[in-house]
Amino acid sequence: MIVFPNAKINIGLNITARRPDGYHDLETVFYPLKINDVLEVIEANELSFESTGLEIPGDMDDNLCVEGYHLLKKDFPKLPPVKIHLHKNIPIGAGLGGGSSDAAFFIKLMNDKFSLELSSDAMMEYARKLGADCAFFIENKPVFAFEKGDEFEEVKLDLSGYHIALVMPDEHVSTAEAYRGVKPAPVSETLYDLIKTPIANWKRTIKNDFEGHIFRDRPAIRGVKAELYEHGALYASMSGSGASVFGIFEAEPDLKNMEENYQVFYNV
């Protein structure tokens, strides 16, 4: 069985409080992107994991798909061993949630393949244990997310009439490091309301709280956002904890000069 885990972007990200468990409360809007990994699972005699494509840091046991297998196996001891093949295409350490998506799609695939009969809520519960971003990818539709980023309210947001371009500078930001640099603060106007306003307003109203310190330490990323605006973006922002930056355009932009320095994905 083969599935195609996709990336996400965060449109707006407000970090509102530090939680007693060391995590942070936040509000963000998750939007699915058309950049995909390929994940194949075959029944086998022993558990194995192999990856092709982009190199994934860490060994087999650190991979979120393998962690997902162990998590399910605890509750479904009869689950047979599987061979997992992941072709990695979503940039890593990019704020695109690639690892989280692989894990969520792995859970959905195992649920289908072995008829585990888990509800969407039950799969989200497993996903939450693997990472804050992970639960979003179970239903994988635009949502306003709150608390740790793993509780959701559906939002009607359809950007299919726009062109989203994604630019990947040659920088990788660790999520934990990104959170350490932020001073949480409550918001005066919730993103849940702001996201319903015209995109032309977003440049003024919708922010990613990570940009402050990450742009200070890594000016190249700030430069990418500025260039997207110079190319006519209606809205541009770093995604999640970076380092990728996306731009929302009315028509397909010509970013050829950016392609010389960065990896550019069009119409994602």
Ligand X SMILES: C[C@](O)(CO)[C@H](O)COP(=O)(O)OP(=O)(O)OC[C@H]1O[C@@H](n2ccc(N)nc2=O)[C@H](O)[C@@H]1O
Ligand Y SMILES: Nc1ncnc2c1ncn2[C@@H]1O[C@H](COP(=O)(O)OP(=O)(O)OP(=O)(O)O)[C@@H](O)[C@H]1O
> What residues are labeled active site?
8, 133
* Residue 179 makes contact with ligand X by CB under 6 A: yes
Q: Which is nearer to ligand X, 18 or 87 (CB)?
A: 18
Nearest approach, Cβ of residue 204 and ligand Y (Å): 25
State yes or no: 92 annotated in a binding site: yes
* Residue 148 makes contact with ligand X by CB under 6 A: yes
Residue closest to 33 by CA, chosen among 128, 99, 97? 97
* Residue 149 makes contact with ligand Y by CB under 6 A: no
* Residue 24 makes contact with ligand X by CB under 6 A: yes
DSSP 8-state code for residue 208? B
Q: Which is nearer to ligand X, 82 or 145 (CB)?
A: 145
Rounded Cα–Cα distance for residues 181 and 200 (Å): 29
- CB count within 10 Å of CB 194 equals 20
Rounded Cα–Cα distance for residues 84 and 17 (Å): 38
State yes or no: 58 annotated in a binding site: no
* Residue 97 makes contact with ligand Y by CB under 6 A: yes
96 binds, among ligand Y, ligand X, none (CB under 5 to 8 A by kind): ligand Y
Q: Which is nearer to ligand Y, 95 or 169 (CB)?
A: 95
Q: Where are the beta strands (DSSP E) in the chain?
A: 2-3, 6-18, 24-36, 38-43, 48-53, 82-88, 143-146, 151-154, 163-168, 235-238, 245-249, 263-265
Nearest approach, Cβ of residue 103 and ligand X (Å): 9
Q: Compute the Cα dihedral for 178, 184, 189, 192 and give only its sign.
A: positive
* Residue 133 makes contact with ligand Y by CB under 6 A: yes
